[in-house]
Amino acid sequence: MFSKALFLTCLIFSCVESARILGIFPMPGISHYILTSKLMKGLAEAGHDVVMVSPYGMKDPPKNGKYTDVILDDFAEVFEKMNQIDLFGHSKRWMVFSMKEVIDVMMIGTRNTLRNPGLMNLVESKEHFDVVIIEEFLNDALKVYSHLFNCPLIILSSVGPNSKVNSVIGNPQPMAYVAHMQMRRFSSRISLLDRMTNLFQHVLSYTLSELLFVPKNERIMQEMYPGAPSISELNNNVALVLLNSHASLYEPQHLVPNMIEIGGYFIDPPKPLPEDLQEYMDNATDGVIYFSMGSNLKSKDLPEERKRMFLNIFGRLKQRVIWKFEEDLPGKPSNVLIKKWCPQQDILAHPNMRLFITHGGLLSTTETIYHGVPILAIPVFGDQPANAARAEASGFALQLDYNAPDFTEDKLDFLIRELLTNPSYKEVVQNKSRIFHDRPIKPMQTAVYWVDYVIRHRGAPHLRAAASKLAWYELYMVDVGAIMVVILAALLYTGKIVVWKIVGSIRRRRANKQKLS
């Protein structure tokens, strides 16, 4: 196996020729930047000339290839202001209001990206790029850059296959069993109610996209570049979709040839821990629990009653606890260590890790599978509930929704002790970890190979499914079905007329016979 992997790796990198790659990623969330910057850094280290447009400058630029940052001014500052919002309280609002705010923010960000001086200078300079890469996230207007630079377009999907990228690329998504990313329930046997809910979610997503997201992006794009091809035409230029997913993370589903799974490509091999954390974890004879709500949610914003609930439970445990907490926390038990920042991947890699309490973000879920650590998921918003449900259904996690009415100290205590004492969760996640690592080549090398493939084959049109060029009513045969219904109705109507004429004729003959007799 090792020799085969080594041969494939050597083959990949022996075929690489330096290309110019433009990545445009205005989403200012830290988790999104981790995904996009890791991809662009990997491409640069493979020998390419990479230009990355984003709200941040790369702190650890690649040592190989050529790399250039184009900073989107003020984007990070705007995001920091948004981060002051109490997202725990915000999650209780009706979904429609939260969705509207997200859409408004994304539309402003997309417009500001198109008008960014650094990016406008790139367009005006008529520089050559071999491929443009964007992250698919309510920002269809950015696809215009593949037209402006006359090159193929690659999409990065940060949440794996979903209704949006599936419709763009023409990937089948049977709604009887392929769950929408907002579905909160998963089971081996999908019930009638689940299928009805799933159908509603898929139809709602497509309707919102076609009637709201895409038209808004179309207007923003045409304001800046009048006469540019429509977004539906630009979608036809999508050569490849890189999916942050893998069989160890998602349930099996269809993927057309130009959809490639690279889930976990952002994870680096474990590094030594800082001295204090190393000593703390090495001496934890009963194991360590790591608690983090991610980069956007702040543990300091938890209500005092919830903070006290966690501290009460932790104080009764024999395990040590590392809690990513953004300020001092008075009254904490002696077995709880507070850290404003934590090297999460390196903590999860420690052999004394017993449990990861997390918000259920996809990056954290991927990392816990990579390292084989069970989780207690406390989802709050976005894709977190679906990730938590998927993890629980897989058997390596339990979940307690942050807004659940039964979020009590007793329930939380029970779930934590169940995960610590029942070995099945550890067994399942370690098996998942073996599946995650069992690949012919590493996910970053897979990403590099397929980007190179698209460049070598000038967009690789031979990989694109014909479904990507069909309207929804053509793809699902609605027009054919409608014609068949009309024909059937016409035949039935015609048949009815013929039958009545025959019946009428028979009646008249009988009536005539009766008169003659």
Structural domains in the chain plus CATH codes = 17-265+442-469 (3.40.50.2000), 275-437 (3.40.50.2000)
The per-residue pLDDT for range 348-399, each reduced to its tens digit, is 999 999 999 999 999 999 999 999 999 999 998 878 888 998 899 899 999 9
Kind of pairing between the strands at 131-135 and 153-157: parallel
- 25 secondary structure, DSSP code: -
Q: In sequence order, which ranges of 302-408 are alpha helices (DSSP H)?
A: 304-315, 344-348, 362-371, 384-394
**Alpha carbon separation from 240 to 44, 255, 443 (Å, rounded):** 19, 12, 15
- Residue 420 makes CB contacts below 8 A (sequence gap 6+) with 287, 289, 317, 319, 354, 355
Mean pLDDT (the chain, rounded): 88
Instruction: Say if residue 40's pLDDT is above 90.
Output: yes
- Residue 452's DSSP bridge partners are none
- Percentage of residues of the chain with pLDDT beyond 90: 59
Residue type, 430: Q
Task: Categorize the per-residue pLDDT at 174 as very low, low, confident or very high, splitting at 50, 70 and 90.
Answer: confident
**Residue found under tokens 């474990």:** 270
Residue 105: alpha-carbon gap to chain centroid: 19
**pLDDT greater than 70 at residue 15:** no
Q: What is the pLDDT of residue 181?
A: 77
Helix axes 304-315, 409-421, angle to 10 degrees: 40
Region 470-485 average pLDDT? 86
Average pLDDT over residues 222-245: 94
Distance CA 299, CA 323 (A): 9
Neighbours of 474 (CB within 10 A): 12
Q: Out of 22-36, 83-97, 173-187, 236-250, which region has the weakest mean confidence (pLDDT)? A: 83-97
Produce one character per residue of 314-353: b if its CB has 16 or more CB atoms within 10 Å, e if not. beebebbbbbbbeeeeeebeebbbebeebebbbbbbbebb
- For the chain, what percent of residues have pLDDT higher than 70? 90
Question: Strand, coil or helix: what is 54?
Answer: strand
Q: How confident is the model at residue 126 (pLDDT cuts 50, 70, 90)?
A: confident
Q: Is the pLDDT of residue 469 over 90?
A: no
**SS3 label, residue 288:** strand
Separation CA 442–CA 440 (nearest Å): 7
C-alpha distance from residue 473 to each of 130, 221, 470, 479 (Å): 34, 26, 8, 6
134: left (phi over 0), alpha (psi -120 to 50) or beta: beta
418 CB-contact burial (10 Å; exposed 0-12 / middle 13-18 / buried 19+): middle
Segment 290-323, tens digit of pLDDT: 999 988 888 888 889 999 999 999 999 999 999 9
pLDDT higher at 508 or 186: 508
Which residues face 317 on adjacent strands? none
Buried b / exposed e along 449-470 (16+ C-beta atoms within 10 A): bbbbbbbeeebbeebbeeebee
- pLDDT at 38 exceeding the cut of 90: yes
Q: In 395-477, which ranges are continuous DSSP H helix?
A: 409-421, 424-437, 443-456, 472-475
pLDDT in tens, 144-160: 999 999 999 999 999 88
Q: Check residue 516 and give its pLDDT.
A: 64
Q: Would the pLDDT of 3 be above 70?
A: no
Confidence label for 187 from pLDDT (cuts 50, 70 and 90) = low
**Secondary structure class of 440 (helix, strand, coil):** coil
**Which segment of 12-26, 236-250, 356-370 scores lowest on mean pLDDT?**
12-26
User: What does each C-alpha distance from 442 to 14, 439, 515 come to in angstroms?
Assistant: 16, 7, 94
pLDDT higher than 70, residue 66: yes
Which residue did the predictor score with more confidence, 33 or 473? Answer: 33
Kindly give, in sequence order, each residue whose CB lies less than 8 Å from that of residue 429, ignoring residues fewer than 6 positions away: 368, 369, 372, 373, 374, 375, 396, 397
